[in-house]
Amino acid sequence: MTQSTKPLIQPVKLDLKKLNQRFEKANPNAILAWCLENFPTGLVQTSTFNVDDVLITDLLYRELRPAAPIPVLFLDTLHHFPETLELVARAQGLYNLNLQIYRIQTVNSRAAFTKKYGKALWETDVDRFHQLTKVEPLERGLAELKTIAWITGERRDQSAAHANLPIFELDSQQRLKVNPLATWSRKETWAYVFEHDVIYNPLHDQGYATIDDEPITTAIADGEATNAGGWRDTDKLECGIHF
């Protein structure tokens, strides 16, 4: 695939209503191919290395294979499960990722985080915890990578809050946010993973539908929404990074 040196369109000039109608029944591969064609630069995948994110990476790196690998922005919150970090390393080796890791700038370990911000900040002020470990690093990463469009692994069936998730939307900075799996179900994601032998976090086999930070993630019961395992026993529904 030949790439030009600048994006062909600006997100604010897009007719999002028509674009969403056009791709409502398209498969994720077609959506990502459109992104690669129209954003040869400035396109970034944000990834937590949950199963949906790794599926998208597989499409980008194994199937579509752009001339310049799409940066994969990963937030090292310092509180990940060891299995998550092992998966990140495995994926980087398997796909030869253009991996861009961002984290809080004031500390470099979980112990140092506790010393500076107190024990179990997620219990006393979860919003500040996410601001420090996710929101600010994500904003900084997207800015430093000169992001024009960014790709997420969000799906409509992940929670009631996502029920009307569009495939294409603008974020608060007028960048294009792309949700290529928006119309897919959890069943479709796993069908693709098994068909194409995509690697995934072994915690998914232990009942963890969505894997967030270790202190605030639990397995889910049958019938629960896929994001129910995060922030259990709180009224929080989102971590705040998808602004």
- Just list the catalytic residues: 239
* Cα separation, 46 vs 177, whole angstroms: 10
Phi–psi pair at 173, nearest 5 degrees: -100, 15
Cα–Cα–Cα angle for 215, 218, 223, nearest 5°? 160
Distance between CA atoms of 1 and 40, rounded to whole angstroms? 10
| Residue 98 parent element (H or E) | strand 98-102
Task: Measure the CA–CA gap between 209 and 172, rounded to whole angstroms.
Answer: 28
Tokens standing for residue 29:
């591969």
For the chain, the straight-line distance linking the first and the last C-alpha, in angstroms and rounded, comes to: 31
One DSSP character per residue, 112-180 reads HHHHHH-TTHHHH-HHHHHIIIIIHHHHHHHHHTT-SEEE----GGG-GGGTT--SEEE-TTS-EEE-T
